[in-house]
Amino acid sequence: MGRPQLPDGVKKDKGTYRKDRANGDAPKPALVLHAEAPEYLSDYAKKAWESIIPELIRVRIFTELDVVVAGTMCEELGRYWELMELTRKKLYKIVQNKIVVDHDMYKLEKMAKEHLVAFEKMAGKFGMNPSDRQRLIVKEAPKDGPVDPMAAL
């Protein structure tokens, strides 16, 4: 498997862009200016949505095609939060005056961490960590707020 293709914006910045190799038919999905959390999300996932998605909209990288993936990403983070809350309360128990680990809760904690790994993979695609953010190219938003892509039509 080869390297992922660089976006045209990166190639233009590096001076390696060639029009004959560019995909002129690449999709240009519409930016989302406001997004409510989908109904199917759990309560924890909706909290994740409300804490993440407004910032993705603000920096102008959230499009119509991202809604389902973002919902899945928020669901993974929500499951992590939910399982960690559950295990935090019941991971340890006292048996014969000794603190012992409840192995069922330990398994849940391990499962929670798997959800966190899945979240981190998807979050990287949105540039939600410092190293992945360096790969994104986002043009500055106009000073008077976000642009409605449909206004030009």
Encode pLDDT of 82-126 as tens digits.
Answer: 988 888 777 666 666 666 667 777 788 888 889 999 998 888 877
Indicate whether 76 pLDDT > 70: yes
Indicate whether 46 pLDDT > 90: yes
Indicate whether 56 pLDDT > 60: yes
pLDDT at 9: 63
How far is residue 46's CA from residue 58's CA, in Å, rounded to a whole number?
Answer: 18
Average pLDDT over every residue of 31-55: 94
Q: Is the pTM of this model over 0.75?
A: no
Which run of H or of E encompasses 100? strand 98-101
pLDDT at 88: 77
How far is residue 77's CA from residue 113's CA, in Å, rounded to a whole number?
Answer: 10
pLDDT at 144: 59
Indicate whether 75 pLDDT > 90: yes
The overall average pLDDT reported for the chain is 79
pLDDT at 45: 96
pLDDT at 112: 87
How far is residue 11's CA from residue 68's CA, in Å, rounded to a whole number?
Answer: 29
